[in-house]
């Protein structure tokens, strides 16, 4: 059995995925027969063999984190690392993930979701439901691509008129603490506070060195940390995640709100999930080993089942 790390992809987060994939390769190279495979088209690479390869998708965004690639793997009989196709799809659809988490008692922000051009809410209806200080974000994207802040009737109206044809989610803007919890096999590892040196944690601040300060563990009350751990684990279970994930939250000083789950978060030694693992004494190589361990068990189970047939 050889582990194949698939990275790159066809979405706007391709560059991030290339970095993640190469980091995973380095993290596993000393212990496992492994190769990297760069994905350049929305299809299952012909080089992959379900009888010889355990797949590690290090793909972010569309056709990678949204369940499409996972579905192809499942249909072809592959064992792979990370959440399954359905869970991946659910977590990429932010309104759906929020609804499932809320059903488990996890606090979420009110929102309005719509698909342009089929339906676009009016400015007055948004203000009536959510207030006049809003965040517009793609409802099925990641890495903060396409996120827009809009305050006041005129700016909201202009934003609605200039949005691209896509699936959008609108939420009230929370001015406070940005927090994230790393999860390994459903267990919360640690909480990180994210402090961008700018207006908000956009793509530039995520991937520009020195643009954001990260505090791990987050300097918040212990009771809040425990509440975030419980909420992250509840959301993970509600959305059917497996192996690992990262849950993002906002905290306004009084209340916290679940935003989303990332089923394939950034996987470099400086990324947030590895940061939370390091706080628990797991260096990057040990973390990657732990991330693939459940998939190795699934591989052995599938192999034993095939031998019994």
Alpha-carbon distance of 120 to 84, in angstroms, equals: 32
Nearest to 247 by CA among 107, 133, 62: 107
Do 251 and 300 fall into the same domain?
Answer: no
Cβ contacts of 177-180, under 8 Å, gap ≥ 24: 177/218, 177/220, 177/250, 177/251, 177/252, 177/253, 178/248, 178/249, 178/250, 179/218, 179/220, 179/228, 179/248, 179/249, 179/250, 179/251, 179/256, 180/246, 180/247, 180/248, 180/249, 180/272, 180/276
Question: Is residue 276 situated within a structural domain?
Answer: no
Residues belonging to the active site? 13, 143, 207, 246, 248, 260, 262, 266
Whole-angstrom CA distances from 105 to 68, 139, 283 are 29, 21, 33
- The per-residue pLDDT for 144 is 59
Do 96 and 228 fall into the same domain?
Answer: yes
Do 179 and 251 fall into the same domain?
Answer: yes
Write the burial class of residue 192 (CB in 10 Å: 0-12 exposed, 13-18 middle, 19+ buried). buried
Alpha-carbon distance of 152 to 69, in angstroms, equals: 40
Q: What is the CATH number of the domain that holds 61?
A: 3.40.50.20
* H or E segment and range at residue 250: strand 244-251
Question: Is residue 55 situated within a structural domain?
Answer: yes
Domain with 156 in it: 112-172
Do 205 and 70 fall into the same domain?
Answer: no
Do 241 and 183 fall into the same domain?
Answer: yes
Is the CB of residue 133 less than 8 Å from the CB of residue 172?
A: yes
Question: Is residue 119 situated within a structural domain?
Answer: yes
Whole-angstrom CA distances from 266 to 93, 221, 270, 305 are 18, 27, 9, 34
Structure tokens that stand for 239 in this block: 């959305």
Question: Is residue 269 situated within a structural domain?
Answer: no
Do 216 and 95 fall into the same domain?
Answer: yes
Alpha-carbon distance of 185 to 49, in angstroms, equals: 26
pLDDT per position in the chain (309 positions), as tens? 999 999 999 988 899 999 999 999 999 998 999 999 999 999 999 999 999 999 999 999 899 999 999 999 999 999 999 999 999 999 999 999 999 999 999 999 999 999 999 999 999 999 999 999 999 999 987 645 689 999 999 999 999 999 999 999 999 999 999 999 999 999 999 999 999 876 665 555 455 556 689 999 999 999 999 999 999 999 999 999 999 999 999 999 999 999 999 999 999 877 999 999 999 999 999 999 999 999 999 999 988 887 776
Question: Is residue 281 situated within a structural domain?
Answer: no
69-117: per-residue pLDDT in tens? 999 999 999 999 999 999 999 999 999 999 999 999 999 999 999 999 9
């Amino acid at each position: 059995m050889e582990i194949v790390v698939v990275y790159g992809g066809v979405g706007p987060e391709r560059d991030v995925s290339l970095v993640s994939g190469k980091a995973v390769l380095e993290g596993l190279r000393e212990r496992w027969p492994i190769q990297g495979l760069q994905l350049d088209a929305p299809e299952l690479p012909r080089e992959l063999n379900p009888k010889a390869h355990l797949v590690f998708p290090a793909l972010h965004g569309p056709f990678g984190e949204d369940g499409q690639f996972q579905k192809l793997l499942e249909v072809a009989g592959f064992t792979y690392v990370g959440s399954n196709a359905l869970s991946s799809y659910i977590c990429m659809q932010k309104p759906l993930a929020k609804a499932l988490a809320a059903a488990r008692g996890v606090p979420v922000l009110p929102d309005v979701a719509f698909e342009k051009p089929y339906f676009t809410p009016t400015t007055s209806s948004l203000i009536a439901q959510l207030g006049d200080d809003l965040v517009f974000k793609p409802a099925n994207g990641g890495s903060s691509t396409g996120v827009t802040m809009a305050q006041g009737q005129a700016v909201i109206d202009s934003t609605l008129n200039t949005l691209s044809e896509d699936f959008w989610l609108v939420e009230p803007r929370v001015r406070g603490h940005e927090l994230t919890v790393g999860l390994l096999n459903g267990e919360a590892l640690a909480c990180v506070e994210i402090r961008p040196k700018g207006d908000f944690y956009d793509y530039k601040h995520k991937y520009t060195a020195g643009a954001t300060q990260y505090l791990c563990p987050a300097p918040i009350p212990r009771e809040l940390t425990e509440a975030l751990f419980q909420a992250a684990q509840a959301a993970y279970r509600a959305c059917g995640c497996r192996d690992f994930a990262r849950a993002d939250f906002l905290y306004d000083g009084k209340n916290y709100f679940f935003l989303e789950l990332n089923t394939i978060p950034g996987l470099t030694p400086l990324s947030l999930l590895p940061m939370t693992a390091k706080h628990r004494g797991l260096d990057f190589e040990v973390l990657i080993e732990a991330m693939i361990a459940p998939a190795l068990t699934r591989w052995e189970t599938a192999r034993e089942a095939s031998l019994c047939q």
